[in-house]
């Protein structure tokens, strides 16, 4: 007999009894109300209610272009909530099969691009003409013996064809043909009228990723360096490469980024600066470092690292430890060591990281130093949440922060770079479903996304080096740190991506903290912002945008290097350089490229430049005795950093 929903409890019980998997439906039947009741307060899903409670209540309207306001369509009773939970779990299991990637998001982008290109015959003709011109140019450069004479040159920063072997025939034509194909693809995915900008960039990225995978440098038969090594060693490089491959498979399950790290162990060769854990809760440990001078500056420094990775990027080895260097400059330094969360912390919110993380750490430091102002330093995502805390503190009249230093940290996500390729409603919803099932975002998902952005450097170049050339490059401390990844709570990461990356709420003044809206403009203390020239995680132009919104004194410095190497830049580091230029405060804001044109390059580390800035905003010099920890819970580096 056909059944209609909603079933009455007796009918549902008969149907359940005759079907497998009836346990869940039996639970639904037990919770089904006899009469339908509409709850006025239940207009959103459980996860979205949690998001809005902790971050941004509904009612705001200033969104970035392309961001749509979602219509509340949550469950009206427990039955519907259980059904929606079932849907979310099913979608989460589907997301496991796709690696957390939304096929629909990709299909939408391709569909948009293909349709608008198909109805642009003149543009198609132009592309065919460009390709014929490219073939002609390739034929004319067939005799070129130096790269400078090639018809198609690598983009700045492209290191794939830098060796001299690529100047020999036929390899020079293979390289130029590949570069020509990449140039043609860039042309084919740009300036197509009607295509959404996000879709155009996504299609361009996906196509470029495929082309990059098939680059001649990635194959033994078309890579002159691999063939030269085979001739020189009689093929031994392939045997050694195979041994390297099986070593990696055994040690890391095939995840070649990690490599072996026998010489780099936390607490032994890394994170060795002397200190003590002086506070611990379920989110973080607070480490106070021992002073290296008899007298210290009265103002302490609190460092808030990102929880995407572990804190000891700032305390790698004694030679390049940012923390050790600061203690030798007469500062009392505290750093937060975030706990690596498990599924039991799935409901930990983004605001919990501010309230029970940053603010709790500030309370501990304040109790140790009394009314003395505190210098806040935030790295990456730690800088973002420290900025939010600073804005909220100003709204609440809390004056404990003396200054704010942001190291490769974004506050305005409008130009957040290639990571925005992975952020839209379809993609984010599927990722939220995956995290709903898992409880956390696994470190492999994050490292996979970052690897995709720099596939040649992070994947293919290492593959060629280890498995074709047979070179087992010994990992350094930074490699060991990169391999020591962490997880992120489901609710926190969903809120972070939706509220900041997708909706850019902090910039628009739509982020609610403790019942009050906060924005970047609420930061009223001096700000030192560091960008990294080759940063693909927090692009320096995005970091620079804080000057567009800030009301306080703002200094911007651009360091050479990438997201991590630019920060780990001790005095004496070979090849280090940075740029300094005009102030970027809102009253005298200057666009990033204009700022760079007016900036001056300086050789060496940016650390002394920042130290001079900090001391100018510090008290009367090194006049205070080093504070004695009120309690000692254990030696640095603590226990949380050791958790897998």
Concatenated DSSP letters of 227-289:
HHHHHHHTTHHHHHHHHHHHHHHHHHTT-TTT---TT--BTTTBS---EEEEEE-SSEEEEEE
d(CA 644, CA 627): 32
> What is the per-residue pLDDT for 34?
42
Q: How far apart are the first and last CA of the chain?
A: 54
> What is the per-residue pLDDT for 261?
60
β-sheet bridge partners, residue 309: 485
H-type alpha helices, 475-619: 477-483, 490-495, 505-508, 540-544, 546-549, 592-598, 607-615
Q: Which of 106-110, 160-164, 375-379, 475-479 has the lowest mean pLDDT?
A: 475-479
Confidence of residue 454 (pLDDT cuts 50, 70, 90): confident
d(CA 249, CA 468): 16
d(CA 265, CA 360): 29
> What is the per-residue pLDDT for 63?
47
- 7 has pLDDT over 80: no
Confidence of residue 74 (pLDDT cuts 50, 70, 90): low
Query: Over the Cα atoms of the chain, what is R_g?
Result: 27
Q: How far is CA 187 from the centre of its chain?
A: 28
The stretch 246-253 carries a mean pLDDT of: 77
Catalytic residue among 29, 73, 191, 380: 380
> What is the per-residue pLDDT for 142?
86
Residues contacting 498, CB < 8 A, separation 6+: 51, 428
β-sheet bridge partners, residue 578: 559, 602
The stretch 495-510 carries a mean pLDDT of: 94
d(CA 351, CA 454): 31
Closest residue by Cα to residue 92 from 429, 348, 498: 429
d(CA 86, CA 84): 5
pLDDT > 70 in the chain, percent: 86
- 443 has pLDDT over 60: yes
Residues contacting 315, CB < 8 A, separation 6+: 270, 271, 272, 273, 321, 322, 323, 324, 335, 637
3-state secondary structure of 511: strand
Confidence of residue 51 (pLDDT cuts 50, 70, 90): very low
Closest residue by Cα to residue 270 from 61, 483, 505: 483
**Mode of pairing for the β-strands spanning 634-635 and 275-280:** antiparallel
- 40 has pLDDT over 60: no
Distances (CA, A) of 183 to 108, 123, 151, 189, 391: 24, 16, 11, 10, 44
Q: Which structural domains are found in the chain, ordered by start?
A: 9-67+75-97 (no CATH), 105-214 (no CATH), 275-441+487-642 (3.40.50.1820)
Confidence of residue 99 (pLDDT cuts 50, 70, 90): confident
The stretch 261-285 carries a mean pLDDT of: 92
Let me know how long the chain is.
644
- 434 has pLDDT over 80: yes
d(CA 304, CA 362): 10
Q: Is 191 a catalytic residue?
A: no
195: its two tokens: 């295509």
Closest residue by Cα to residue 315 from 275, 285, 284: 275
The stretch 60-70 carries a mean pLDDT of: 46
CB 160 within 8 A of CB 215: yes
The stretch 503-532 carries a mean pLDDT of: 95
Q: What is the mean pLDDT of the chain?
A: 86
- 255 has pLDDT over 50: no
The stretch 128-149 carries a mean pLDDT of: 91
The stretch 145-174 carries a mean pLDDT of: 92
Distances (CA, A) of 268 to 271, 321, 363, 550, 564: 7, 14, 30, 42, 21
- 482 has pLDDT over 80: yes
- 297 has pLDDT over 90: yes
d(CA 281, CA 46): 26
- 617 has pLDDT over 50: yes
480: its two tokens: 């060991």
What are the φ/ψ torsions at residue 178 (nearest 5 degrees)? Answer: -65, -45
């Amino acid at each position: 007999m056909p059944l209609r929903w909603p079933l009455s409890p007796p009918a549902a019980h008969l149907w359940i009894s005759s079907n497998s998997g009836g346990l869940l439906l039996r639970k639904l039947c037990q919770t089904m109300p006899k009469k339908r009741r509409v709850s006025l307060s239940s207009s959103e899903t459980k996860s979205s209610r949690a998001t809005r409670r902790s971050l941004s209540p509904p009612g705001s309207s200033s969104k970035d272009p392309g961001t749509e306001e979602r219509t509340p369509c949550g469950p009206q009773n427990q039955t519907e909530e259980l059904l929606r939970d079932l849907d979310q779990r099913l979608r989460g299991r589907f997301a496991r099969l796709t690696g957390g990637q939304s096929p629909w998001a990709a299909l939408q982008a391709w569909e948009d691009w293909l349709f608008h290109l198909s109805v642009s015959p003149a543009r198609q003709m132009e592309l065919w003409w460009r390709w014929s011109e490219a073939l002609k140019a390739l034929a004319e450069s067939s005799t070129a013996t130096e790269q400078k004479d090639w018809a198609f040159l690598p983009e700045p920063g492209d290191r794939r064809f830098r060796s001299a072997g690529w100047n020999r025939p036929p390899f020079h034509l293979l390289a130029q043909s590949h570069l020509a194909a990449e140039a043609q693809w860039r042309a084919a995915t740009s300036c197509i009228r009607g295509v959404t900008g996000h879709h155009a960039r996504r299609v361009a990225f996906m196509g470029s990723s495929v082309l990059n995978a098939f680059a001649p440098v990635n194959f033994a038969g078309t890579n002159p360096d691999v063939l030269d090594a085979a001739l020189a060693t009689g093929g031994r490089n392939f045997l050694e490469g195979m041994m390297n491959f099986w070593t990696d498979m055994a040690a890391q399950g095939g995840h070649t980024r990690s490599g072996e790290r026998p010489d780099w162990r936390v607490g032994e060769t890394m994170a060795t600066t002397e200190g003590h854990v002086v506070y611990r809760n379920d989110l973080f440990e607070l480490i106070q470092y021992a002073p290296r001078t008899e007298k210290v500056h009265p103002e302490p420094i609190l460092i808030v690292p990102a929880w995407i990775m572990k804190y000891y990027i700032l305390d790698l080895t004694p030679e390049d430890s940012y923390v050790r260097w600061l203690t030798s400059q007469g500062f009392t330094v505290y750093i937060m060591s975030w706990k690596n969360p498990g599924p039991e912390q799935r409901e930990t919110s983004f605001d919990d990281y501010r309230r029970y993380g940053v603010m709790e750490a500030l309370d501990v430091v304040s109790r140790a130093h009394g009314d003395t102002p505190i210098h806040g330093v935030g790295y990456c995502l730690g800088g973002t949440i420290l900025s939010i805390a600073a804005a909220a503190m100003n709204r609440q009249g809390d004056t404990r922060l003396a200054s704010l230093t942001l190291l490769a940290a974004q506050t305005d996500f409008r130009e957040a770079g290639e990571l925005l390729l992975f952020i839209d409603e379809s993609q984010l919803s599927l990722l939220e479903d995956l995290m709903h099932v898992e409880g956390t975002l696994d470190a492999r998902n994050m490292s996979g996304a970052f690897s995709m952005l720099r596939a040649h450097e992070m994947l293919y170049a290492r593959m060629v080096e280890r498995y074709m050339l047979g070179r087992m490059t010994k990992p350094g401390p930074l490699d060991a740190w990169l391999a020591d990844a962490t997880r992120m709570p489901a609710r926190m990461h969903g809120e972070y991506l939706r509220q900041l990356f997708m909706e850019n709420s902090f910039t628009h003044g739509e982020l609610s903290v403790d019942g009050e809206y906060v924005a970047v403009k609420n930061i009223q203390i001096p700000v030192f912002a560091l960008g990294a020239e080759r940063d693909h995680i927090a692009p320096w132009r995005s970091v620079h945008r804080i000057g567009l919104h800030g009301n306080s004194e703002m200094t911007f410095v651009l360091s050479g290097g990438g997201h991590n190497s630019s920060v780990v830049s001790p005095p004496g580091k070979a090849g280090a350089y940075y740029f300094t230029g005009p102030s970027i405060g809102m009253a005298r804001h200057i666009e990033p490229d204009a700022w760079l044109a007016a900036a001056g390059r300086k050789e060496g580390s940016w650390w002394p430049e920042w130290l001079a800035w900090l001391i100018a905003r510090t008290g009367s010099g090194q006049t205070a005795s080093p504070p004695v920890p009120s309690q000692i819970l254990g030696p640095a580096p603590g226990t949380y950093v050791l958790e897998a």
